[in-house]
Amino acid sequence: MTARNELRLLPWSGPGGKPCYLSTDDRSGYMSRLADNIEAIQLGTAAELLEQASETLDDQDGDGEEMRRLAKELTGALRDVLRVATSRGHLLAVSELHSI
């Protein structure tokens, strides 16, 4: 199994919003692939929301309710993307340590 500093931050939260981690040496195992797939979906959703946000902000007739909904969705997407970036940054750092 992996050392404590090599745990993978998963792209979902546990009870109470606490982070979930994966301890495995198998980067092609089921849970690793599941996490990779969910991260890809989260990044794709963020890209779609970014495009939608640009269109909504360009619309002079946009209403407040639509803006609040978009802001809420963007906040969730940003949270997901930040978690993915943190996880992948950590994985890169661990990978670099192993290649030294």
Report helix, strand or coil for 25. coil
pLDDT (0 to 100) of residue 1: 45
- Name the average pLDDT for the chain: 86
The string of pLDDT tens digits covering residues 66-86 is 888 999 999 999 999 999 998
Cα atoms in the Cβ-side hemisphere of radius 13 Å centred on 25: 4
* Residue numbers in the chain where pLDDT is lower than 50: 1-2
β partners of residue 9: 21
pLDDT (0 to 100) of residue 100: 60
Query: For 86-96, b where at least 16 C-beta lie within 10 A, e where not — what string?
Result: ebeeeeeebee
